[in-house]
Amino acid sequence: MSSPLEEVCAEVLKRVTPTATEKKKVLSLAKRLVEKVQEGAEEKGVEAEVRVEGSVAKNTWLRDCPEIDVFMRVPTSMPREAFGTVCLEIAKKATEGYRQIERFAEHPYLEAVTGDNVWVNVVPCYRVKRGGWISATDRTPFHTDYVKPLLDEQKSREVRLLKRFMKGVGVYGAEIKVGGFSGYLCELLVLNYGSFVEVLRSAADWKEGTTIDYERHYERKDDAKKLFQEPLVMVDPVDKKRNVAAAVRKEKLYEFIAASRAFLETPDQKFFYPPQTEALKQTELINKINSRGSVIVFISFEACPAVPDVLWGQLYRSQRALRKLIQRHDFTVLRDAVWSNEKNFNTFIFEVENRFLTNMKRHLGPPLRKREDCEKFLQKHAGAESKVSEPRVEGERWIVDKQRRYTDVVELLKEKLRDGGANVGLAEYVSKAVSESLKVMVNDEALNLYSGSPEFAKFLTEYLEGKPRWLVCV
Amino acid sequence: MSSPLEEVCAEVLKRVTPTATEKKKVLSLAKRLVEKVQEGAEEKGVEAEVRVEGSVAKNTWLRDCPEIDVFMRVPTSMPREAFGTVCLEIAKKATEGYRQIERFAEHPYLEAVTGDNVWVNVVPCYRVKRGGWISATDRTPFHTDYVKPLLDEQKSREVRLLKRFMKGVGVYGAEIKVGGFSGYLCELLVLNYGSFVEVLRSAADWKEGTTIDYERHYERKDDAKKLFQEPLVMVDPVDKKRNVAAAVRKEKLYEFIAASRAFLETPDQKFFYPPQTEALKQTELINKINSRGSVIVFISFEACPAVPDVLWGQLYRSQRALRKLIQRHDFTVLRDAVWSNEKNFNTFIFEVENRFLTNMKRHLGPPLRKREDCEKFLQKHAGAESKVSEPRVEGERWIVDKQRRYTDVVELLKEKLRDGGANVGLAEYVSKAVSESLKVMVNDEALNLYSGSPEFAKFLTEYLEGKPRWLVCV
Highest CATH level, class, for B282-356+407-473? alpha beta
Instruction: State yes or no: pLDDT of A196 exceeds 70.
Output: yes
Tell me the shortest Cα–Cα distance from A95 to chain B, in angstroms: 42
pLDDT score recorded for residue A467:
66
Is pLDDT of B382 > 80?
no
Tell me the per-residue pLDDT of B290-334, one tens digit each, with 9 for 90 and over: 888 889 999 999 988 888 889 999 999 999 999 999 999 999 999
Q: Is the pLDDT of residue B470 over 80?
A: no
Residue B1: predicted pLDDT:
65
Mean pLDDT across the stretch B89-115?
A: 87
Classified by CATH at the fold level, domain B18-141 comes out as: Beta Polymerase; domain 2 (3.30.460)
Rounded distance between C-alpha atoms, residue B73 and residue B231, angstroms: 32
Residue A474 has pLDDT above 50, yes or no: no
Assign B421 a pLDDT band (cuts: 50, 70, 90). Answer: very high
pLDDT for the residue numbered B292: 82
pLDDT at A37: 96
Question: Full-prediction pTM beyond 0.80?
Answer: no
Across residues A81-93, what is the average pLDDT? 92
* Domain B360-403 in the same topology as domain B282-356+407-473: yes
Q: What string of H, E and C letters represents the secondary structure of A336-404? A: EEEEECCCCCEEEEEEECCCECCCEEEEEEEECCCHHHHHHHHHHHCCCCCEEEEEEEECCEEEEEEEC
Strand B67-74's sheet: what is its strand order? B49-53, B67-74, B119-126, B108-113, B99-104
**Read out DSSP for B365-382?**
EEETT-HHHHHHHHHHHT
The number of CA neighbours under 13 Å toward the Cβ of A65 is 5
Give A68's pLDDT tier (boundaries 50, 70, 90).
very high
**Cβ distance A352 to A326 under 8 Å?**
yes
Element (H, E) at A311: helix A308-328
Report pLDDT digits (tens) over B147-185.
999 999 999 999 999 999 999 999 999 999 999 999 999
Q: Which residues contact A208 (CB under 8 A, 6 or more apart)?
A: A231, A232, A250, A253, B369, B396
Q: For residue range B139-153, what is the model confidence (pLDDT) as tens digits?
A: 999 999 999 999 999
Residue B334 contacts by C-beta under 8 Å, 6 or more apart in sequence? A360, A362, A401, B294, B351, B352, B353
For helices A196-203 and A183-193, give the axis angle rounded to 10 degrees.
90
pLDDT at residue A466 is higher than 90: no
- Using the predicted structure, report yes or no on whether residue A473 has a pLDDT greater than 60: no
Q: Among residues of chain B, what percentage have pLDDT more than 90?
A: 77
- Measured between CB atoms, does B357 come within 8 Å of chain A? yes
DSSP class of B355: S
Contacts of A360 in chain B (CB under 8 A): 292-294, 334, 353
Say how far residue A98 (Cα) sits from the centre of its chain: 28
DSSP strands (E only) in A187-293: 210-212, 232-236, 239-243
Q: Which chain A residues in 102-121 lie under 8 Å from chain B, judged by CB atoms? A: none
**Three-class SS state of B219:** coil
pLDDT of the residue at A26: 95
Q: Stretch B111-124: mean pLDDT, rounded?
A: 90
Is A129 an 8 Å CB contact of chain B? no
Write the burial class of residue A353 (CB in 10 Å: 0-12 exposed, 13-18 middle, 19+ buried). Answer: buried
Q: Which residue of B has its CA nearest to A403?
A: B292
Residue boundaries of the structural domains of chain A = 17-147, 151-271, 282-356+407-473, 360-403
Q: Which residues of B touch A251 (CB under 8 A)?
A: 393-395
Portion of chain A with pLDDT greater than 70, in percent: 97
The per-residue pLDDT for range A429-455, each reduced to its tens digit, is 999 999 999 999 999 999 988 998 999
Residues of chain B contacting A465 with CB distance shorter than 8 Å: 389-390
The continuous run of DSSP H or E covering B141 comes out as: helix B140-147
| Contact in structure between B139 and B239 (CB atoms under 8 Å) | yes
Residues 290-309 of B with CB under 8 A from A: 291-294
Contact by Cβ (8 Å): A401, A355: no
Question: Could you tell me if B389 lies within 8 Å of chain A, comparing CB atoms?
Answer: yes
Architecture, CATH, for domain A151-271: Orthogonal Bundle (1.10)
**Beta-sheet pairing, B67-74 with B119-126:** parallel
- Tell if the CB–CB gap between A471 and B388 is shorter than 8 Å: no
pLDDT-derived band at B474 (thresholds 50, 70, 90) equals very low
DSSP A19: P
What's the angle, vertex CA A209, arms to CA A205 and CA A210, rounded to 5? 45
Which CATH number does B360-403 carry? 3.30.70
Q: What CATH number matches the domain at A17-147, 3.30.390.30, 3.40.190.10, 3.30.460.10, 3.90.1210.10?
A: 3.30.460.10
* Count of pairs with CB atoms under 8 A, one residue in A, one in B: 156
| Lowest model confidence (mean pLDDT) among A286-295, B122-131, B343-352 | A286-295
Q: Which of A251, A358, A393 sits opposite B353 (nearest CB)?
A: A358
Residues forming a β-bridge with B296: B351
The 10s digit of each residue's pLDDT in A126-135 is: 999 999 999 9
Q: Which residue of A467, A470, A473 to mutate against B (max B Cβ within 10 Å)?
A: A467
Q: For residue B116, what pLDDT is reported?
A: 84
Residues B41, B50: contact at Cβ < 8 Å?
Answer: yes
